Structure 1
Amino acid sequence: MGKYLLILIVLVGVYKSNAQIGGKIQVLGARTFEYDQAANGKIRKLIGDVRLKQDNTLLYCDSAYQYEETNYVEAFSRVHINANDSVHIYGDILKYDGNQKRARVEKNVRMNDNTMQLTTSDIDFDMVSNIANYSNGGRIVNGTSVLTSRFGYYNTKEKIFFFKKDVVLTTPDYTIKSDSLKQVTTTNTTYFLGPSTITNRLDTIYCEYGWYNNLRDVAMFSKNAKITSTKKVLEADSIYYERKNEYGKAYRNIRLTDYINKIELNGDFGEFFGKKNQSYLTQRAYAKKMLQNDSMYLFADTLFSYQKDSITQQRQLVKAYRNAKILKWDMQSVSDSLVYKYDDSTITLYHSPILWSGQNQITSDTIQMFLNNNKIDSFYLLNNAFMISKETSKHFNQVKGKYMKGLLEESKFKYLRVYGNGQSIFYAKEEKDSSYIGVNVIDCSEMEFFFESNKIHKSNFITQPDATFYPINQLKPEELKLKGYRWMNSSRPTIKSVWNYLVKK
């Protein structure tokens, strides 16, 4: 019983799908009426200024065949369909099924309403669903906008277009090339439903999904979103932008590459304020600075970027705020914050900074590093400068002063000069077997040190040195440490610690 009931339901569905929807096609006028005798008079020939009507649809042509039994019409030459006095379709040939209210217009097809004009080789129009579609290429003109595509669908009631394959939209301001595009004319919104490229005077945008509202000038790009300009590239999982306000947001896997300054900013959330020339990135935020044959990574809770502004005299820089770290294969640092200024190529570490290179550790209230030809070649320690150089797990050479200036070569210490309140502790070695024989404790207002292989090789004590040599075991451990001594190698950033930071965030 269930089997027969299922067959009955299917048959009813088939019957309904083929049931007559439209009323009888009426002839309003023609110059000549003829009947095809070969078809037993069941086919009417209409010639000259033919006018037909079905419900709210008017059909015009030069000649037509009317199949009265099947409620079907074939029309030829100067075909014109007027649907509800809102949609007009023109062409050379019309095949119209009055029962299903479906029209197919062929050759030199034009379709227009109060929003656009479409030209194509052939088009199908379902007057029940209000959907017109073409499959052999079409061209739509809407004001100053021109769109072409291989396939197209248009809901004439909802004013919604859908385009597929080789979609190109050209306007005075931009050009869009897309695999799939949807346009809602009532809201003036374009949806990108496949790989799409938007090109304008300033940049090129790529996405695989997104939308753009022309009225509000607001857009959202996602799925491999990318904005490319002559100087920068912005990539993210999704990008939101308000052009009038010059405001944007980006989400997940953000990467902003600045080719001019050779720096790359990364994070998982960012905001951009164009009118202020400012932006910031947070959540797994880090920067990658391309140096000569090397890269330097900057990590922080938040990265702020400030673009140069001639009106406010704002300088172009990146600020790393809270838990700032530098990671380079031969140099590392930690600080509360740091600032990298593009114009004078300086990196300044603030609030209890520590810098390591090899077995050397330097600290001060502020550390300033200078880049030359994309290489760090010098540094300056401002206030409470302190350098510790590890000899063994028990022996540490130390230099202390008010200020220090140093030179680097391939990120290794080459020269160090101490200014004001200089103090130092250096271990002396036996030349024959390099065993430790004693320690030099020296007070000197100004002194300098020369390095080889990142270790102190030679020293000069310039201003009134006061030096004392002690046998290796004469001084107590606490006396072998200058005031302020802290060996903090456990805080030194490593690739593993940074990787954990990125994963956990």
Structure 2
Amino acid sequence: MHGRGCKRPRSRWIALRLVLPALLLAGGFALAQEGGDQIQVEILYAKSMRPLEKEGQSIHRLLGEVALSHDSAVMHCDSAYVYPETNSFEAFGNVRVRSRQFRLWGSAMHYDGNSGQGHVTGKIVKLHDSVDKTTLYSDALYFTTQRNLVWYSTWGHLLTDQSDIRSRRGSYDADRDLVTVSDSVLYRSEEVTAVGDSLQYAQSLERIYFWGPTRVYTDESMGYGQKGWYDRNAGHGILEGQVAVDQGKGRIYADWAFFDRSKDFVEAKGQVVAVDSMENYRLYAGHARFWNSPRRMIAQEQPMIWAVDTSSAKRDTLYLRADRFVGWQEPAKGPAPRPNDSVYLGRAEGSIRAFRQDLQLVADTAFYNGQDSTVIAWREPFPYVWSKQLQVSSRLITAHLSEGLDSMHFQDKVLVAQEGDSIHYDQMSGKDMWAYLHEGEMQRVEVKGEGKVIFFMTDEEEVIAVNRIESPHFILHMKEQEAERITFYDNPHSLVTPIQDTQTEDRELFGFKWHGDDLRPHGPRDIIPPWLKDLEFYIPLARQATRYRAADRKLLERARRDPRIPE
């Protein structure tokens, strides 16, 4: 011992086989054995030393400004007990440890040199890595020098230049550069915040892994899942198991999701449903991709659209199925579009089937144009539309949707049939036809070019004759989807033939075939894909995510007010 009348300690005292809290983090503090020989600790200073003996064991008590050193590591404290026979020591009062890389502060410290394990306690225990710019706070830090591992089990707060991690339990593995935390986890960085049960942060990879119900917040968006990861360098990650993604304007629920912040992109798989903020529109699919800037969507693997017609008092629901849906956003066009105005366009591809109570459709391809609010449908040989007892087909069908479905334009080889009984169908055909609707029902039909009409005449519900009329232009007025009156123009020609004198060509227009039984959808279950057993399967998950978000809001608000000082 040096200075102020203290005698130099005996050599056996100096040769205590201690391992200072090198323990804690990456190599800079490791005081364990090197090449099989125990590293010795030098006592630099103490105001007094008192030898003690307890149960046959020698104990050295150091008091006042105690300083111990090993290599470049120095520990200061107010007092210490050293146990030479068990190669252990205890330090008390204002404990400070300093090395080339690390600084450690606490109130008390215990270390067992044989096992390489120890702990530091205090109201606030602080460990700072001056190389990696990492600071760890707790009230008790446990460590092992053999694995360069430190952990805590009450609370911990780890700060780096770019991250803030809090939890009740956690560890830092210096050799693997890995932070593992659990129980009430809060992770914050400039670009993302995560709240959950368990998390690992691989610092060298800048990648975060998480398990258990976890919420990931980026700007105004939220992602929820049971496990996943996020790569800070690439700005993308994956969520798995009961996934919910809330983007403000809409929400996505799935079994699996990939998200990319730099591209503002989400890809979802499994049982996928995208829901708009008003709950009036849902997109179901086995696989879907979404871009936000600009907005774009691709849905496949038995996708289906579910939409409520809010423009109608009936609020009918549309079920629309296809092999693939594609949607995108474009700048609005027109005589004087406002800045930043945009419209949505979409395309349905392959095996299109649609059902709502007042209208059904089959087609191969359909295109929605938000510029003029139209839907164009086509199919080989023809797309078909049904409404109650009516069946309509043509080469091309255009629906106008300015205020709901208000009109439909049928072009080229138009053929209309109305079911009377199982063998008699009123029919009309033409080159071009417009149908005008109100509340989903046809009110007026106008046919131009090569117009032909077949009516079955009845007497007390018995068919007695066929009336065949040819006219280049006629208008049909309807009530409750049935013909009320018809007006022919430009010299119509009419021929009435008794039913017993008719041939097939007298009773059917060219190309007529009734498809009400084989092609026509008869209800939602004819549209809903087999994998979709419950249209509201996502509701429990949506409620759970909403509850989490409400609870997290208070936690995140406290974290935003926190000036990086541990609780």
The amino acid that maps onto 1:477 is T
CA contact (8 A) 2:42 2:68 kept: yes
1-side partners of 2:490 and 2:251: how far apart? 53
Worse-superposed segment, 453-462 or 207-216: 453-462
Alignment counterpart, residue 477 of structure 1, candidates 504, 527, 536: 504
Alignment counterpart, residue 392 of structure 2, candidates 325, 340, 362: 362
2-side partners of 1:41 and 1:179: how far apart? 45
CA contact (8 A) 1:177 1:198 kept: yes
Distance 1:229 1:243, change over 3 A: closer
Deviation for aligned residue 1:341: 3.4
Give the structure 1 partner of residue 204 of structure 2: 186
Distance 1:159 1:87, change over 3 A: farther
CA contact (8 A) 1:277 1:309 kept: no
Q: How many residues align?
A: 480
Worse-superposed segment, 334-343 or 186-195: 334-343
The amino acid that maps onto 2:464 is I
Alignment counterpart, residue 444 of structure 1, candidates 458, 464, 471: 471
Give the structure 2 partner of residue 11 of structure 1: none
Give 3-state SS (helix, strand or coil) of 2:95's partner: strand
Give 3-state SS (helix, strand or coil) of 1:93's partner: strand
Deviation for aligned residue 1:410: 4.2
Alignment of 1:341-356 (within 5 A): 341-342=369-370, 344-351=372-379, 352-356=382-386
Give the structure 1 partner of residue 492 of structure 2: 465
Give the structure 2 partner of residue 319 of structure 1: 347
Give the structure 2 partner of residue 244 of structure 1: 262
2-side partners of 1:324 and 1:285: how far apart? 10
1-side partners of 2:279 and 2:87: how far apart? 73
2-side partners of 1:415 and 1:310: how far apart? 32
1:269 to 2:287 alignment = yes
Distance 1:476 1:341, change over 3 A: same
Alignment counterpart, residue 93 of structure 1, candidates 108, 115, 125: 108
Identity %: 24
CA contact (8 A) 1:148 1:167 kept: yes
Alignment counterpart, residue 446 of structure 2, candidates 397, 408, 417: 417
Give 3-state SS (helix, strand or coil) of 2:505's partner: helix
CA contact (8 A) 1:25 1:71 kept: no
Give the structure 1 partner of residue 79 of structure 2: 63
Distance 1:88 1:100, change over 3 A: farther
Give the structure 2 partner of residue 338 of structure 1: 366
Distance 1:255 1:153, change over 3 A: same
Q: Which has the higher contact order (CA 8 A, sep 6+)?
A: 2
Alignment counterpart, residue 202 of structure 1, candidates 204, 220, 228: 220
The amino acid that maps onto 2:109 is L
Deviation for aligned residue 1:344: 4.1
The amino acid that maps onto 1:30 is Y
Worse-superposed segment, 393-402 or 346-355: 346-355
Q: Deviations over 1:299-340 (max 9, x none)?
A: 111111112346999841221111111122332111111123
CA contact (8 A) 2:272 2:287 kept: yes
Q: Deviations over 1:268-288 (max 9, x none)?
A: 123345566433111111211
Give 3-state SS (helix, strand or coil) of 1:473's partner: helix
TM-score (norm 1): 0.87
Give 3-state SS (helix, strand or coil) of 1:362's partner: strand
Give the structure 2 partner of residue 295 of structure 1: 317
1:42 to 2:58 alignment = yes
Distance 1:86 1:303, change over 3 A: same
2-side partners of 1:314 and 1:468: how far apart? 54
1-side partners of 2:368 and 2:378: how far apart? 11
Alignment counterpart, residue 274 of structure 2, candidates 256, 259, 265: 256
The amino acid that maps onto 1:112 is H
The runs of 5 or more residues in structure 2 that have no matched partner are: 1-31, 334-339, 534-567
Deviation for aligned residue 1:119: 0.9
Distance 1:315 1:37, change over 3 A: closer
Give 3-state SS (helix, strand or coil) of 1:100's partner: coil
The amino acid that maps onto 2:79 is S
Worse-superposed segment, 34-43 or 287-296: 34-43
Worse-superposed segment, 155-164 or 345-354: 345-354
Give 3-state SS (helix, strand or coil) of 1:422's partner: strand
Give 3-state SS (helix, strand or coil) of 2:85's partner: coil
Give the structure 2 partner of residue 328 of structure 1: 356
Worse-superposed segment, 336-345 or 174-183: 336-345
2-side partners of 1:313 and 1:336: how far apart? 31
Give the CA RMSD over aligned residues: 2.7
The amino acid that maps onto 1:451 is M
TM-score (norm 2): 0.78
Alignment counterpart, residue 488 of structure 1, candidates 515, 532, 541: 515
1-side partners of 2:376 and 2:275: how far apart? 22
Alignment counterpart, residue 78 of structure 1, candidates 86, 94, 100: 94
CA contact (8 A) 2:42 2:70 kept: no
Worse-superposed segment, 330-339 or 171-180: 171-180
1:399 to 2:428 alignment = yes
Distance 1:119 1:204, change over 3 A: same
Deviation for aligned residue 1:354: 0.5
2-side partners of 1:330 and 1:118: how far apart? 66
Q: Deviations over 1:129-155 (max 9, x none)?
A: 222111211111111432211111111
1:308 to 2:337 alignment = no
The amino acid that maps onto 2:221 is D
Give 3-state SS (helix, strand or coil) of 2:212's partner: coil
Q: Deviations over 1:340-373 (max 9, x none)?
A: 3345443221232111111211011111223355
Distance 1:226 1:333, change over 3 A: same
CA contact (8 A) 1:25 1:53 kept: no
The amino acid that maps onto 1:332 is Q
1-side partners of 2:530 and 2:411: how far apart? 30
Deviation for aligned residue 1:78: 2.5
Distance 1:426 1:502, change over 3 A: farther
